[in-house]
Amino acid sequence: MNAQSDSQHDLVTQQFGPRADAYVNSPTHAAGPDLTALQSLLRGAPVADFLDLGCGGGHVSFHAAPFAERVTAYDLSDAMLAAVAAGAGQRGLANITTRQGRAEVLPFADASFDMVVSRYSAHHWRHVAPAMEEAARVLRPGGICVMMDVYAPADPLLDTYLQTIEMVRDPSHVRNYSLAEWRSLLSAAGLTPQAPQTFRLPLGFQSWVDRINTPTLHRPALLSLQAGAATEVKEHFAIQPDGSFTLDTMLIISIKENSVLAS
């Protein structure tokens, strides 16, 4: 990795380490139709070894633990991992272990996991294509990869607005990818993506900026961007007078090979 990518990884750690408890306790991250869909998948396909890639506050791990023999919560931030370990202990989830590292270089042997899942993390990865190749590498034949994240609308106007507010709010943001980009990334990694499930995620402005501790000077800039946005932008993101708005999120299941779900 070059100095630029090291700087990005450091920025992510600096942004999220001090906010670990906020993400563990975030109602926005603790529930949602994507987590419900994940548990439905796990009920039909229980796994031995489960990897929560870029685990953040650990909510994927917490939801997976009742259905998997072993759950590895993996993240760049040691502080986040400590908060996840504490949360697992409070919930009595003894099958969750933590491991620190980058998404682009996984410290696991080939074919180590039955399922790899990532939620609300990939838009911070400096090198998303190698990370997806790594996810595919550590999956066993017949394994399942599930990617859950905010996705960018195909319309360039809406895409540009989304990337702008994400960056102003949080400088560690890299990119929200479109559904077409996700299909390409997954296919290039040797996975077979299924049709995505899409959702709408309402966000309160104040909790959105407080959770990541957006700088004070940036908060009125975000409100100004909302106020000055085109009508199409305001309608798509359902921007409200108090700054609350709605994002598009997705869940994409991909199969490595020889999976019963591929039939």
pLDDT level of residue 45 (50, 70, 90 thresholds): confident
The residue that leads in pLDDT, 260 or 226, is 226
For residue 14, pLDDT beyond 60: no
pLDDT score for 27: 62
For residue range 213-227, list pLDDT tens digits in order.
Answer: 899 999 999 999 999
- CB neighbour list of residue 214: distance below 8 Å, 6 or more residues apart: 168, 169, 170, 222
**Look-up of token digits 């023999």:** 69
For residue 261, pLDDT beyond 50: no
> Could you give the percent of the chain with pLDDT greater than 70?
86
Q: For residues 35 and 66, what is the distance between their CA atoms, to the nearest angstrom?
A: 13
Q: For residues 85 and 75, what is the distance between their CA atoms, to the nearest angstrom?
A: 12
Q: For residues 26 and 217, what is the distance between their CA atoms, to the nearest angstrom?
A: 23
In this predicted structure, which of 75-79, 189-193, 251-255 has the lowest mean pLDDT?
75-79
The residue that leads in pLDDT, 3 or 226, is 226
Cα 38 vs. chain centroid, distance in angstroms?
13
For residue 187, pLDDT beyond 50: yes
For residue 30, pLDDT beyond 50: yes
Task: Work out the average pLDDT over 177-183.
Answer: 98
DSSP string, 65-99: GGGEEEEEEEES-HHHHHHHHHHHHHTT-TTEEEE
Q: For residues 145 and 238, what is the distance between their CA atoms, to the nearest angstrom?
A: 31
For residue range 83-126, list pLDDT tens digits in order.
Answer: 999 999 999 999 999 999 999 999 999 999 999 999 999 999 98
The model's pTM: 0.89
Q: Please tell me the CATH code under which domain 3-152+174-201+248-256 is placed.
A: 3.40.50.150
119 strand-pairing partners:
148
What average pLDDT does the chain have?
89
